[in-house]
Amino acid sequence: MLDTGELPVEVVIVSSTDNARTYYAKDGTRTCHSVDGVAPCSDSKEPQSKKCTICFHNQWGSKITPNGKRGKGCSEFSQLQLLQPDTPHDMLSLRVPSASLKALRDYTKSIISRGERLNCVVTKIDATQETTRTQLTFRVIRFLEDGELNNLIEASKIVVSSFTATDGYTH
């Protein structure tokens, strides 16, 4: 999992899971979660509702932020699967928080309006710290050449050992 402290990074967004949701109890434990924003997952510890749309924690005002603003108790996010063009054997994952979802949607729309797919672009993802939250930004670096995406995906399937090769003896 990529942390915002490791940004900026230049990557290809291979896939994304949108409308995911998570609700944390007051003690910080994840109580309920959904991968599609429709209904809680079957492995949720304590599902808060049968459907996300009618859940109390998914309503504005169900949480008051540290700076006194209304928010939702259940946080919405997107999960991105990323490949770095220079190290394609390392698949990365990045959680896009609710504060950055509009920026991600606007970026996706701008790519689609050019007639391209999100996985055909090298994107620079950066983080800027605002007063109470981190805001992610997305910017086009370049468009992939023909076949470059397939080469990256194939290279990501190659298993690279984290151990150095030895002759079997300790020296």
User: pLDDT tens for residues 81-136?
Assistant: 998 888 767 788 999 988 899 999 999 999 999 998 888 899 999 998 877 778 89
The first and second tokens of residue 67, run together, are: 């700076």
User: Is 165 a member of any domain?
Assistant: no
> Is residue 100 domain-resident?
yes
Domain with 71 in it: 4-157
Q: Is residue 170 part of a domain?
A: no
Q: In sequence order, what are the beta bridge partners of 81?
A: 15, 93
Q: Which of 129, 141, 152 is nearest to 10 (CA)?
A: 141
Identify whether 35 is part of a domain: yes
Average pLDDT over residues 29-48: 91
| 15 against 1, higher pLDDT | 15
The answer to whether position 168 is within a domain reads: no
Q: What are phi and psi of 143, to 5 degrees?
A: -95, 145
Alpha carbons 9 and 97: distance in angstroms, whole number: 17
Predicted confidence at residue 166, as pLDDT, reads 54
Q: How far apart are CA 144 and CA 111, in angstroms?
A: 13
Q: In this predicted structure, what is the pLDDT of residue 162?
A: 47
Q: Could you tell me the end-to-end alpha-carbon distance of the chain, in angstroms, rounded to an integer?
A: 36
- Reported as a single tens digit per residue, the pLDDT across 130-169 is 777 788 999 999 998 877 777 776 766 654 444 455 555 5
User: What pLDDT does 160 receive?
Assistant: 45
Q: Given a cut of 90, is residue 14 above it in pLDDT?
A: no
For 8, 43, 75, 113, 162, the CA distances from 95, given in Å and listed in that order, are: 14, 20, 12, 24, 25
* pLDDT band at residue 67 under the 50/70/90 scheme: confident
Q: Are 108 and 124 in contact (CB under 8 A)?
A: no
